[in-house]
Amino acid sequence: MKGYLKLRRIVLTKLENGLPRHLTYHNLDHVLDVLNVCNQYIKRNKIKGDDAFLLRIGAIVHDMGFLKTNINHEEVGAEMAANIMASLDMDPKHIEIVKGLILATKIPQNPQTELQKIICDSDLDYLGRGDYPEISSRLYLEFKATNVIKTDQDWKNLQISFLTKHDFHTPFAKRYRDPRKQYWLEKIHENHV
C-alpha cells in the first residue's frame, strides 16, 4: 500500500534516534515486537489489503507519543502519526483508523473493532509469553527511572493489580496467552518473578 515503507522508515528512524534512553521498555524493541505479533495475527487470521496495511502502520506508530511525553502519549502519538500520514498523502479515512488503533492501546484498554482488539493484544502479548520476566524487568527499570514506582513492593503491587484487571480480547490470546499470564500472576504472588 502506498507510503507504508516510507512511513516505516520515517517513524523507526525517529524512534531509534529520539526516544529517551531511560525508556527501557517503551523503545524500538517493543515497537518491533508489536509489529511482529501483528504480522503473526495478519498471517494467522488471513487479514488482507487495507486492514493488514493499517494494522502494520498502527503497530509502528502506537508509541510514537513517547518521543514527546509519557503522559497521555497515545493522544500525542495519534496526532504525530496523523501528521506523518497526511504528509505522505494517505487516505483521511485511513488516518482516522490508525488514530483509533493508537488510542485503543491506552490503559485500561477498551478496543471497539477487530483491528483494535488485535493491536491491543499485540501490545501486551508478552504478558502471556515465556519472556515475560525479561520484558517486565525492562518495564520495572523504566518505571523506577520515571518515578512511577519507588520500591520493589510498589512494583509487585502494580504487577498484581495490572495482571488481575487485564483481559485479552482476541480468541487467540484468550486461548494461548491468558493461561501463561495466569501462571505469571501466581508466580508474582509467590515472589518468584
pLDDT number for residue 191:
82
Q: What confidence tens digit (pLDDT) does each residue in 112-123 have? A: 999 999 999 999
Q: Any idea which residue has 507510503 for its cell? A: 3
pLDDT number for residue 46:
98
* CATH numbers and ranges of domains, the chain: 1-123 (1.10.3210.10), 125-193 (no CATH)
Higher pLDDT, 41 or 2: 41
Is the distance from CB of 27 to CB of 19 less than 8 angstroms?
yes
Reported pTM: 0.96
What distance in Å separates the CA atoms of residue 59 and residue 27, rounded to the nearest whole number? 13
Q: What confidence tens digit (pLDDT) does each residue in 148-167 have? A: 999 999 999 999 999 999 99
Average of pLDDT values for 185-192? 90
Res. 1: pLDDT tops 70? no
Q: What confidence tens digit (pLDDT) does each residue in 58-102 have? A: 999 999 999 999 999 999 999 999 999 999 999 999 999 999 999
pLDDT number for residue 132:
98
Q: What is the mean pLDDT of the chain?
A: 96
Res. 31: pLDDT tops 90? yes
Residues in CB range of 127: below 8 A, 6 or more apart: 163, 166, 177, 180, 181, 184
Residue 106 Cα distances to 67, 86, 97, 123, angstroms: 16, 23, 15, 10
